[in-house]
């Protein structure tokens, strides 16, 4: 019988069922419920087939199930084309193949399908936990392959798993070489996930309650690693969006063109907008941002947001041709951020912008609805007159008003009506950062002072071990920027006047009395930052995850070229290619030498050498011992075909069995004596 047509051993079937369970387990939360039902039915049916209770499914049943799977996928996803629908169909096919397999050839096909299906999990997550689970699954798949090749061992899971693990470990050096040196070529097409179309983080429009809702989440927004000192916490204002248009309730971007492009996920590089300055095509207005004072250099790894805007400290500079500087001096990506993305920034925090404000920009940042919020307009005029019509005095007048009046910073602001600024300033006096920033900018514009609202994040958790800042959604913040003559745009944070601890210590300290920090996530590890042991474990784990993302997941073409330049002293491709080829050949050569050394002929013990001499003597009498023939079986053949030799052959065989398989029952002297007797008996044979 050909090997491929042999029956699947019991141990092999157990390994295959275990493999299939591990492969599809992480997919279950994303797959339709009917796929889970199919998985359970296929596993039970396969077991019943092995126990000879049920027969293999008929052809019409398989056709019916495949058709139902296609219809179910179409009904659930609305298509059978695409990544998620394709994964669902692939998993279903994988399940059905296990059900219909009949011989070793089918089993090998299931194993190879397992290697392919397990990779699909990385399309959804590449975290350390998922990667560790996938590595364990890979070990089990390889062990299943070993189990199919060693049916004579029976079901010995640890022994089989150990052999599979050895095979995987042996491949790791080559895997590392390939990871480091194979060219990192960008894909020919982009793959979008339907479930990731939901935008996250700071949105393109801001109303007073939006930031408060976002601050209830402990989700990660981004991490920033500094190449030098980390700025003081009160300077960590991460700018994301600049809002210049106010309709009475909501703030939006001043440029309708950029706002519409963001909603349509347009490639911003194709807009040819004069409001965008690209590193390879800089705009003249970029000179309006001075680059003076201390510069902070840092790398940001941002989580997927499905948005164009990026986050940076004030006055950013970037050299990536896929990232542009907007006219309001913030960064945007050419394409929406659909996956973790790393970018490098330099920020000049002491710099000034637009000391001489263009007329059109001044008009844009003085815009207000013609009607609404009458009491706030009156308040602004009173403050403006009492401040001597000085911009600096007017700003201080409003901040003093926020400090002295009973204003409260809260994550649970009341709902506001049509005249939202009036209701906040005069009636409720309770709000989150967006309430204060919105009201402040409104008061500025009413007095004829250009101002705008900025949305982003403030602060973050500093991990000193990794010298990086970890910013989460509850760090979301809104503040104001006011144009001051001869100084340009100046950041003013009215929230700091009401709750200075929000800027100095973070949200948790600002709402400590209210007790609303992550109230909807009682089991979040971030609620236990006051427990030193738990907090230290969390920080160490997050540092490990960050390094994994930074050095492994973000190892792209630019990082590879930088590595080559550091290792090989330049980008001489001849040196690089020969070094890579030489390293790989050296590794393969070492592996080959190790395999040859492992397979070298082993020195046989004296008893085995004596028994081989006995077998050669028997060959002269026409008795050739088979390779896998046991000694007593060979002795039985000798007695049958050469009765005259049976007595001496029996002595040799019994002595050999004792010396080889019962050595513990003999003393060293007895072992030596019986070996002499065996040699004497062999010599007496002619």
Let me know: does 73 contact 31? Beta carbons within 8 Å. no
Residue 534, H or E segment: helix 532-548
- Determine whether 433 is an active site residue: yes
User: In this structure, what token pair is assigned to residue 652?
Assistant: 């040799």
Let me know: does 182 contact 555? Beta carbons within 8 Å. no
Q: Are strands 468-472 and 220-226 parallel, antiparallel or unpaired?
A: antiparallel
Per the document, the length of the chain is: 686
Let me know: does 201 contact 305? Beta carbons within 8 Å. yes
Residue 679, H or E segment: helix 668-684
What's the CA dihedral at 433, 437, 443, 447 to 10 degrees?
160
User: In this structure, what token pair is assigned to residue 346?
Assistant: 């330099």
Nearest to 498 by CA among 450, 435, 444: 435
| 175 burial level (CB within 10 Å; 0-12, 13-18, 19+) | exposed
| 548 burial level (CB within 10 Å; 0-12, 13-18, 19+) | middle
Let me know: does 650 contact 635? Beta carbons within 8 Å. yes
Catalytic: which of 433, 435, 473, 610? 433
Total Cβ atoms within 10 A of residue 681: 21
Q: Which residues contact 310 (CB under 8 A, 6 or more apart)?
A: 240, 300, 302, 323, 330, 331, 332, 333, 337, 343
- H/E/C letters for each residue in 462-481? EECCCCEEEEEHHHEEEEEE
* Dist CA 548 CA 58 (whole Å): 49
Total Cβ atoms within 10 A of residue 444: 26
Residue 640, H or E segment: helix 631-641
Let me know: does 357 contact 483? Beta carbons within 8 Å. yes
Catalytic: which of 42, 320, 493, 610? 493
| 166 burial level (CB within 10 Å; 0-12, 13-18, 19+) | exposed
What number of helices (H) and strands (E) belong to the chain?
24, 17
* Dist CA 217 CA 544 (whole Å): 22
DSSP conformation letters of 411-437: SSPPP--SSHHHIIIIII-EE-HHHHH
- Determine whether 477 is an active site residue: yes
* Dist CA 370 CA 275 (whole Å): 27
- Determine whether 610 is an active site residue: no
Helix 668-684 and helix 646-661, axial crossing angle in degrees, nearest 10: 150
* Dist CA 295 CA 279 (whole Å): 18
DSSP conformation letters of 367-412: ---SSS-HHHHHHHHHHHHHTTT-HHHHHHHHHHHHHHTT-EE-SS
Active-site residue numbers?
A: 433, 477, 493
């Amino acid at each position: 019988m050909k090997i491929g047509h042999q029956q699947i051993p019991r141990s092999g079937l157990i390994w295959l069922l275990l493999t299939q369970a591990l492969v599809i387990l992480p997919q279950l939360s994303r797959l339709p419920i009917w796929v889970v039902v199919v998985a359970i039915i296929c596993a039970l049916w396969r077991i019943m087939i092995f126990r000879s209770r049920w027969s293999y499914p008929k052809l019409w049943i398989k056709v019916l199930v495949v058709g139902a799977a296609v219809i179910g996928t179409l009904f659930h996803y609305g298509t059978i084309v695409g990544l998620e629908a394709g994964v669902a169909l692939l998993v279903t096919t994988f399940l059905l193949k296990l059900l219909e397999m009949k011989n070793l050839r089918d089993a090998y096909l299931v194993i190879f399908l397992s290697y392919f299906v397990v990779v699909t999990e990385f399309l959804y997550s590449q975290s350390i936990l998922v990667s560790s689970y996938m590595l364990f699954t890979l070990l089990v798949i390889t062990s299943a392959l070993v189990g199919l090749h060693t049916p004579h061992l029976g079901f010995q899971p640890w022994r089989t798993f150990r052999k599979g693990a050895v095979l995987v470990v042996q491949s790791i050096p080559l895997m590392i070489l390939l990871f480091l040196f194979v060219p990192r070529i960008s894909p020919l097409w982009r793959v979008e996930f339907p479930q990731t179309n939901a935008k996250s983080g700071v949105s393109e429009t801001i109303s007073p309650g939006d930031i408060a809702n976002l601050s209830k989440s402990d989700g990660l927004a981004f991490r920033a690693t500094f190449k030098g000192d980390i700025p003081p916490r009160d300077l960590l204002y991460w700018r994301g969006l600049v809002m210049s248009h106010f309709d009475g309730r909501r703030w939006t971007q001043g440029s309708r063109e950029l706002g519409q492009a963001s909603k349509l996920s347009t490639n911003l590089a194709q807009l040819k907008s004069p409001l965008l300055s690209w590193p390879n095509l800089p705009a003249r207005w970029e000179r309006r941002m001075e680059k003076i004072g201390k510069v902070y250099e840092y790398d940001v790894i941002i989580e997927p947001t499905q948005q164009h805007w990026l986050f940076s400290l004030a006055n950013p500079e970037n050299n990536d041709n896929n990232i542009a500087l907007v006219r309001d001096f913030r960064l945007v990506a050419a394409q929406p951020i659909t996956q973790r993305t790393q970018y490098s920034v330099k920020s000049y925090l002491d710099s000034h912008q637009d000391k001489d404000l263009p007329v059109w920009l001044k008009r844009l940042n003085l815009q207000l609805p013609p009607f609404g919020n009458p009491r706030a307009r009156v308040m602004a005029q009173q403050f403006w007159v009492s401040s001597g019509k000085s911009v600096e005095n007017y700003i201080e007048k409003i901040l003093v008003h926020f400090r002295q009046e009973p204003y409260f910073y809260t994550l649970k602001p009341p709902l506001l009506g049509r005249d939202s600024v009036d209701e906040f300033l005069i009636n409720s006096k309770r709000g989150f950062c967006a309430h204060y920033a919105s009201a402040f900018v409104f008061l500025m514009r009413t007095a004829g002072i250009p101002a705008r609202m900025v949305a982003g994040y403030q602060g973050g958790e500093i991990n000193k071990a990794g010298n990086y800042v970890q910013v989460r959604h509850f760090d979301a913040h809104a503040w104001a920027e006011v144009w001051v003559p001869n100084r340009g745009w100046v950041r003013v944070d009215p929230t700091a006047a009401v709750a200075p601890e929000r800027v100095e210590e973070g949200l948790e300290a600002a709402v400590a009395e209210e007790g609303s920090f992550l109230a909807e996530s009682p089991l979040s590890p971030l609620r236990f930052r006051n427990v030193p042991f738990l907090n230290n474990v969390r920080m160490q784990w997050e540092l490990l995850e960050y390094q994994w993302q930074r050095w492994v997941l973000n190892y792209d073409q630019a990082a590879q070229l930088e590595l080559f330049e550091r290792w090989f002293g330049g980008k001489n491709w001849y040196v690089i290619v020969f070094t890579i080829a030489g390293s790989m050949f050296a590794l393969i050569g070492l592996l080959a030498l190790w395999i040859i050394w492992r397979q070298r002929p082993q020195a046989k013990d004296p008893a085995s050498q004596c028994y081989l001499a006995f077998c050669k003597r028997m060959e002269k009498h026409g008795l050739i011992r088979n390779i896998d023939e046991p000694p007593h079986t060979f002795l039985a053949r000798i007695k049958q075909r050469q009765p005259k030799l049976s007595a001496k052959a029996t002595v040799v065989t019994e002595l050999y069995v004792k010396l080889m398989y019962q050595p513990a029952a003999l003393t060293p002297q007895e072992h030596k004596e019986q070996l002499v007797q065996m040699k004497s008996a062999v010599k007496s044979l002619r």
